[in-house]
Chains A and B, each alone.
Chain A
Amino acid sequence: MSDMHSMTLSEIAAKLQSREISVEYVVQSCLDRIESTEPRVGALLSVQAEEALARAHAMDQSGPEADKPLWGVPMVLKDLLTTKGVPTTCASKILENFVPFYDATVVERLRDAGAVLLGKANMDEFAMGSSTENSAFKKTANPWDPERVPGGSSGGSGATVAACQCYGALGTDTGGSIRLPASFCGVVGLKPTYGRVSRFGMVAYGSSLDQIGPMTRSVEDAARVLQIIAGHDPKDSTSVNCEVPDYCAALGKEDLSGVRIGLPEEYWGEGLAPEVETACREAIAKAESLGAQTVPVKLSLTDYAIATYYIIAMAEASSNLSRFDGVRYGYRNKEADELIDMYTRSRTEGFGDEVQRRIIMGAYVLSSGYYDAYYRKAAQVRRLIRKDFEQAFEQCDVIAGPVCPTTAFRSGEKADPLQMYLMDIFTISLNLAGLPGMSLPVGLGSESQMPVGLQLMGPAFSEERLLSVADTLERALPPMPVPEM
Chain B
Amino acid sequence: MKISPEEVAKVAGLARLDLSDDKIELFSGQLDDILNYMDKLGELDTSDVEPMYSPVEHTTVLRADEPRKDYSRDEVLSNAPEQDGAFFIVPRIV
Contact = CB atoms under 8 A, between A and B. Distances in A.
Interface of A: 97-102, 193-195, 207-208, 234, 237-238, 240, 301, 303-304, 306-308, 310-311, 318, 322, 325-332, 334, 336-345, 347-348, 351, 353, 356-357, 359-361, 363-364, 367, 374, 376-384, 386, 416-418, 421, 433-435, 460
B78 A99 contact: yes
Given A325-B16, A356-B12, A417-B30, 13 more contacts: A99-B78, A99-B79, A194-B55, A208-B53, A307-B37, A307-B40, A347-B17, A356-B19, A356-B23, A364-B31, A377-B46, A380-B51, A460-B55
Contact of A329 (B40, B44, B79, B90): B79
A283 to B, nearest CB: 28
Nearest to A384: B49
Contact of B30 (A327, A347, A357): A357
B1 interface: no
Interface in B1-48: 3, 7-8, 11-19, 23, 27, 30-31, 33-34, 37-44, 46
B71 A102 contact: yes
A364 B38 CA distance: 13
7 contacts: A102-B71, A195-B56, A234-B63, A347-B15, A364-B3, A367-B11, A434-B55
Contacts of B15: 318, 322, 347, 359-360, 363
Interface residues of B, number: 51
Interface in B35-84: 37-44, 46, 49-56, 59, 61, 63, 71, 75-76, 78-82
A457 B46 CA distance: 26
Contacts of B86: none
B46 A386 contact: no
A307 B91 CA distance: 40
B33 A418 contact: yes
Nearest to A207: B54
B18 to A, nearest CB: 5
Contacts of A325: 16
Contacts of A195: 55-56
The 4 A-B pairs with the shortest beta carbon distances in the complex, nearest first, are A434-B55, A379-B51, A332-B81, A329-B79
A301 B92 CA distance: 52
B27 A360 contact: yes
A193 B56 CA distance: 10
B54 to A, nearest CB: 4
Most chain A CB within 10 A, of B19, B40, B41, is at B41
